[in-house]
Amino acid sequence: MTHTLKLLRLVLFFSLIFPLKLAAEDGYRLWLRYDLLTDQQLLNTYRTQIKGWQLKGESASLQASRQELSLGLSGLLGKQIAEVEIVDDATLVAGTVASSSVIASLDLGEQLSTLADEGFLITNTRYQDKNIIAIAANTDIGVLYGVFHFLKLIQTQHALTHLNIQSTPQIRHRVLNHWDNLDRTVERGYAGFSIWDWHKLPTYEDPRYTDYARANASIGINGTVLTNVNANALVLTPQYLEKAAALANIFRPYGIKVYLTARFSAPVEIGGLQTADPLSPEVQAWWNSKVSEIYEYIPDFGGFLVKANSEGQPGPQNYGRTHADGANMLAEAVAEHEGVVMWRAFVYSEDEPDDRAKQAYNEFKPLDGSFKDNVLIQVKNGAIDFQPREPFHPLFGAMPETPLMMEFQITQEYLGQGTHLVYLAPMYEEVLRADTYAKGEGSTVAKVIDGSLHNYNTSGIAGVANIGTDRNWTGHIFGQANWYAYGRLAWNPQLSSEDIAEEWIGMTFSNNEAAVKTIKSMMLNSHEALVNYMTPLGLHHIMGAGHHYGPGPWVKKMPRADWTSVYYHRADEKGIGFDRSKSGSNAVAQYFPEVAKKYGDPASCPEKYLLWFHHLDWDYQMASGNTLWKEIALHYQKGVDSVRQMQQHWQNVEGKIDAERFAQVKAFLEIQEQEAVWWKDACLSYFQTFSKLPIPEGVEKPEESLEHYQNLSFPFAPGIRPRW
Instruction: Show which residues are catalytic.
Output: 311, 385, 413
Q: How far is the CB of 228 from ligand GCW (least distance, A)?
A: 6
x/- mask, ligand GCW, residues 420-449, rule CB under 6 A, reads ------------------------------
Question: Quick one: which of 29, 172, 307, 389 contacts ligand GCW (CB under 6 A)?
Answer: 307
The nearer residue to ligand GCW, 330 or 379, going by C-beta atoms, is 379
Q: Is 230 in the site for ligand GCW (CB under 6 A)?
A: yes
Q: Is 379 in the site for ligand GCW (CB under 6 A)?
A: no
CA proximity to 342, closest of 372, 367, 377: 377
Q: How far is the CB of 352 from ligand GCW (least distance, A)?
A: 17
DSSP string, 386-430: S-SS-PBPTTTTT-TTSPEEEEEE-S-TTTTTTT-----HHHHHH
Residue pair 175/461 in contact (Cβ under 8 Å)? The answer is yes
* Residue 555: partners with Cβ closer than 8 Å, 6 or more residues away: 542, 544, 545, 564, 565, 566
Question: Quick one: which of 26, 83, 88, 187 contacts ligand GCW (CB under 6 A)?
Answer: 187
> Cα(187)–Cα(200) distance, rounded to whole angstroms?
21
Q: How far is the CB of 364 from ligand GCW (least distance, A)?
A: 15
Q: Is 541 in the site for ligand GCW (CB under 6 A)?
A: no
Q: Is 188 in the site for ligand GCW (CB under 6 A)?
A: yes
Count the residues of the shown chain that bind ligand GCW, applying the rule CB under 6 A: 11
The nearer residue to ligand GCW, 387 or 497, going by C-beta atoms, is 387
The nearer residue to ligand GCW, 99 or 381, going by C-beta atoms, is 381
How large is the C-alpha radius of gyration of the chain? 27
Q: How far is the CB of 451 from ligand GCW (least distance, A)?
A: 23
Question: Quick one: which of 31, 145, 179, 408 contacts ligand GCW (CB under 6 A)?
Answer: 179
Residue pair 247/226 in contact (Cβ under 8 Å)? The answer is yes
* Residue 723: partners with Cβ closer than 8 Å, 6 or more residues away: 715
Q: Is 386 in the site for ligand GCW (CB under 6 A)?
A: yes
The nearer residue to ligand GCW, 408 or 437, going by C-beta atoms, is 408
Q: How far is the CB of 264 from ligand GCW (least distance, A)?
A: 14
* Residue 536: partners with Cβ closer than 8 Å, 6 or more residues away: 632, 635, 636, 639
Q: Is 229 in the site for ligand GCW (CB under 6 A)?
A: yes
Q: How far is the CB of 718 from ligand GCW (least distance, A)?
A: 11
CA proximity to 455, closest of 438, 469, 478, 434: 438
The nearer residue to ligand GCW, 173 or 547, going by C-beta atoms, is 547
| Omega within 30 of 0 (cis) for the link into 202 | yes
Q: How far is the CB of 287 from ligand GCW (least distance, A)?
A: 22
The nearer residue to ligand GCW, 65 or 359, going by C-beta atoms, is 359
* Residue 513: partners with Cβ closer than 8 Å, 6 or more residues away: none
Residue pair 153/167 in contact (Cβ under 8 Å)? The answer is no
x/- mask, ligand GCW, residues 310-339, rule CB under 6 A, reads -x----------------------------
CA of 226: how far to CAs of 171, 210, 223, 246, 506, in Å?
A: 20, 15, 9, 12, 30
CA proximity to 699, closest of 621, 641, 626: 641
The nearer residue to ligand GCW, 465 or 695, going by C-beta atoms, is 465
> Cα(271)–Cα(293) distance, rounded to whole angstroms?
13
Q: Is 346 in the site for ligand GCW (CB under 6 A)?
A: yes
The binding site for ligand GCW (CB under 6 A) comprises: 179, 187-188, 229-230, 307, 311, 346, 385-386, 413
